[in-house]
Amino acid sequence: MSYSHGAVVSIPDPYDRRPSRPAVVVSDEQCPDYGDRYTVAALTSSDRYGEHPYAVTIEADEPASGELLTQSFLELWATYRIAHGDVRAMHARLNAATMKRIATAYAEMVLRG
C-alpha cells in the first residue's frame, strides 16, 4: 500500500519529543522513489505555530475522509523525507481544495522576497 498525496499519516517525531507526530504527504506518484519514500509536512495543533504567517489552518472536519482530532496547522517549514516503513498509520485524506491551499502557501513562501 502506498500513501498518496494528501494522506494524513503518523511518522516518528523528528525531534524525539514524543513517539510520533502527524504529517501530510505532499509528494505524489510522479516523484522519484514514490512508494518507498514520501515528502511530508508536519501538522501541529499548537496555536504558537498556527499564528505563524506560513502556517495553513486545517479544520478538524475538513478532510475528505477520516478525521483530525482537532483544528490543526500545517507547518510548511517542517518538511521531511520519510521511508515507507516509518509511516505508522494513516488517519485521513485531505481534499483537493485543501491541498491547493497548501500548494499556494508553499508558492507564496518560496516566492516571497
For each of the domains in the chain, give its residue range(s) and CATH number, in order of start: 7-111 (2.30.30.110)
Alpha helices in 1-113 (DSSP H): 47-50, 96-111
CA–CA dist 7, 24 (Å, integer): 6
Amino acid at 104: T
Residue 29 to residues 36, 85, 90, 95, Cα–Cα distance (Å): 11, 17, 17, 17
Q: What is the pTM of this model?
A: 0.93
Q: What is the pLDDT along the chain (113 residues), one digit of tens a residue?
A: 899 999 999 999 988 888 999 999 999 999 999 999 999 999 999 999 889 899 999 999 999 999 899 999 999 999 999 999 999 999 999 999 999 999 999 999 999 86
